[in-house]
Chains A and B, each alone.
Chain A
Amino acid sequence: MRIVGDHLAKVAEKSGDVAQFDPFGRSAFNRYYYSAFLAVRAALRKIDNKWASPSHKAVPEVLKGDVLTRLKHQIRKSQSNGQITESEGMRLFHAAQTAASELSNLLSSARETRRVADYEPEQLVQKSGSVITLGECSLDTAKAWERRVETQTKTILRVYGDLGLI
């Protein structure tokens, strides 16, 4: 998905004509959103198959809800049987909680940008020098979504691993 986004972004960046950079730019935003969404979905699938096909709207809630609830439960269990210390448990939970919260924010705002790209053609992509934006989101920010998501999902998977859950 990201390489398609990169290609579309390149076409948009090269063009000075709004009739060109607007459709290519908005399609690039769309592809970048999907690459981020699929990266999160792949991580959720590693934890539990039942989270393998969540709806776009549900993912931010699953991240902040079920994913953390399961961790909290296991941390309590591991603390009570002496497998991890109190402070280890706190550190693990905090690491996962921050990552989940950041991921959730990123996905919901990226989804909104994707919605504008797909359904609000009257809101044009703007180009100022080499900077392309749609609403408040720049194409450079969108390009980094997938990498950012991969970094933060790694943290959640690591915490699950440290607790013996995966």
Chain B
Amino acid sequence: METSDSSDFTKLHNFLREHGVDFVSDVKISHSAEIHFALFVSADHVSAKSGKGVTSHRQMKLLQQAAKAETGLVVEWIVTPGQEAAAMEASIQQLIEVNHPGVVQAVYISSPKITPISVWVETKTTLDSRLQSLLKALIKQFLDLYGIADPLLMFGDSVNLPSNPTIMRKLKIHGPLTPEQFVEVLVSARLVIPNLRWLQTRLDAFRKQGFVIRSPEGKYSLTEPGLDLVPFGKNRSSSDVERALALGRRKW
């Protein structure tokens, strides 16, 4: 007698054949109550667009929906690590090690078939900007050989200049602040401020736009339109909650 598992398996097999699915490396019966089958596909076969032997995240999602609608089967996709990305990661790490020994701890890259690709570089120490530029050039040169242009390079330890939304949020939480006090707040949040003038220029630009006001004592605060720009919510990381906590901690 045919078991339910084997009849479902036949249904799935037929479904995959009818839809021309040629990139699944394995099919397993799922042990989860809500999912019938796990379909395995190597990351080497996941691309930005689907085609012969390759699929896309969009196609996988559509097939998942179609499987449910046409066969009543719930499937989940499991994307297994690709050989291509692993080989590239190892090569980039080796290349950096040869040129700049002892600098890099690990290199991770996103699927090379989906561009622009992301490259994460974990370093053993904080890199100065000169060494960071050298590594960037080296990685770009390497990826160029594979026809991969404009990668997004991210250094794990790098500290950033604060973005406009970050400045506004910090001012909402800690304001009113003099520029000197504000620099301290931003630096303690592991942000880089090139100099006091840089921050003052940013604050004055916000002031001209009507988002920030300066008191006669030289302290900056957000205006009502400025407050409207800062995201808020009900959770612990909300700017409103952080503002309340900062006020509680303040020495009056």
Contact = CB atoms under 8 A, between A and B. Distances in A.
B interface residue count range (under 10 / 10 to 19 / 20 to 34 / 35 or more) = 35 or more
Contacts of A128: none
B120 to A, nearest CB: 5
Contacts of B81: 105-106, 109, 137, 141
B31 A144 contact: no
Given A49-B236, A144-B106, A164 B152 contact: no
Contacts of B118: 94-95, 98-99, 102, 155
B116 interface: yes
A interface residue count range (under 10 / 10 to 19 / 20 to 34 / 35 or more) = 35 or more
Contacts of B78: 108-109, 112
B178 interface: no
A69 interface: no
B229 A81 contact: yes
Given A48-B237, A163-B163, A148 B108 contact: yes
B110 A101 contact: yes
Contacts of A119: 31
A151 B120 contact: yes
B200 interface: no
Interface string B122-156: 10000000000000000000000000000010101
Contacts, number: 105
A152 B118 CA distance: 10
A164 B79 CA distance: 32
A83 interface: yes
Interface in B156-195: 156, 160, 163-166, 168-169
B165 A105 contact: no
B79 A163 contact: no
B237 A164 contact: no
Interface in A129-162: 136-137, 141, 144, 147-148, 151-152, 154-155, 158, 161-162
A115 B28 CA distance: 12
B34 to A, nearest CB: 8
Nearest to A147: B106
A152 B116 CA distance: 16
B122 A147 contact: yes
Contacts of A84: 163-165
B120 A152 contact: yes
Contacts of A81: 229
Contacts of A105: 43, 79, 81
Given A95-B118, A151-B156, A74 B106 contact: no
B160 A83 contact: no
A7 interface: no
A18 interface: no
B32 A164 contact: no
Interface of B: 31-32, 34-35, 38, 40, 43, 57, 76-81, 106, 108, 110-111, 114, 116-118, 120, 122, 152, 154, 156, 160, 163-166, 168-169, 209, 229-231, 233, 235-237, 239
Given A83-B165, A99-B118, 20 more contacts: A48-B237, A49-B236, A50-B235, A83-B168, A98-B117, A102-B108, A102-B111, A105-B43, A109-B79, A115-B31, A141-B81, A148-B108, A151-B106, A151-B108, A152-B108, A155-B118, A161-B166, A162-B166, A163-B163, A164-B239
Interface of A: 46-50, 57, 74, 77-78, 81-84, 88, 91, 94-95, 98-99, 101-102, 105-106, 108-109, 112, 115, 119, 136-137, 141, 144, 147-148, 151-152, 154-155, 158, 161-166
